[in-house]
A and B are shown apart, each in its own frame.
Chain A
């Protein structure tokens, strides 16, 4: 079993770039794919990144995902921040078929 740890909150200004990390507690981050979900206030989550770095259709290329084995973490990078990007972001991976979620990161765009 492993845990995924995210920062509780991050903030950045419109037009800037922000990166949210997701650190795996044990086992290699490269072992299983990582997904990222965006949840705006009062709305259902949506997938913004799947299979580490793939974007579902309709997700702008301002959103990108990556993994880093040296830090055993995955990252979601959002460039050219817009106010509409303000949301909670969750990372997720797999543990023997079971889903594991990170605790979520609240992104404030101010």
Chain B
């Protein structure tokens, strides 16, 4: 059974860099055929796509976040990661990782940006 689990800090100060990792178990990136996604949800709001990465290394970024974003894959650890620079209070949200297109999704991690 494929499972995804987010890890990372829950609290950051403004201007710091957010680094999140998604641990993928029960599947291997070398199998190919899927892409892996980061999504966030601001409190009480809908879903916002952040970035995608394919197992061949191709990446896609939300244009509104592109200048601050990096998504990467570590096939040796079966993880993929997100780095978001220069965070502000507007980046406070629940962050989810998921496998495209059929899932599953991780349980989510709450990230709060506050001084």
Chain A interface (Cβ within 8 Å of chain B)? 33, 35, 37, 44-47, 50-51, 54, 56, 90, 92, 97-104
User: Are the C-beta atoms of A50 and B102 separated by less than 8 Å?
Assistant: yes
Bits for B12-55, please: 1 = Cβ < 8 Å to A, else 0.
Answer: 00000000000000000000000001010000001111001000
Asked if B9 is at the interface (CB within 8 A of a chain A CB), the reply is no
- Checking B48, B101, B106, B107 against A101 with a beta-carbon cut-off of 8 angstroms, the contacting residue is B48
Neighbouring B residues of A56 by C-beta, 8 Å: 102-104
User: Are the C-beta atoms of A98 and B60 separated by less than 8 Å?
Assistant: yes
- Checking B37, B60, B101, B105 against A46 with a beta-carbon cut-off of 8 angstroms, the contacting residue is B105
User: Are the C-beta atoms of B105 and A103 separated by less than 8 Å?
Assistant: no
Taking A97-B52, A97-B60, A98-B62 as contacts, is the C-beta distance between A47 and B46 under 8 angstroms?
no
Chain B interface (Cβ within 8 Å of chain A)? 37, 39, 46-49, 52, 58, 60, 62-63, 96, 98, 101-108
Q: How far is the CB of B36 from chain A (nearest CB, A)?
A: 12
Bound: A68/B104 CA distance, A: 27
User: Are the C-beta atoms of A90 and B46 separated by less than 8 Å?
Assistant: yes
- Checking A33, A47, A98 against B49 with a beta-carbon cut-off of 8 angstroms, the contacting residue is A98
Q: How far is the CB of B49 from chain A (nearest CB, A)?
A: 4
Taking A44-B108, A98-B49, A101-B49 as contacts, is the C-beta distance between A33 and B96 under 8 angstroms?
no
Taking A98-B62, A99-B49 as contacts, is the C-beta distance between A47 and B101 under 8 angstroms?
yes
Q: How far is the CB of B97 from chain A (nearest CB, A)?
A: 10
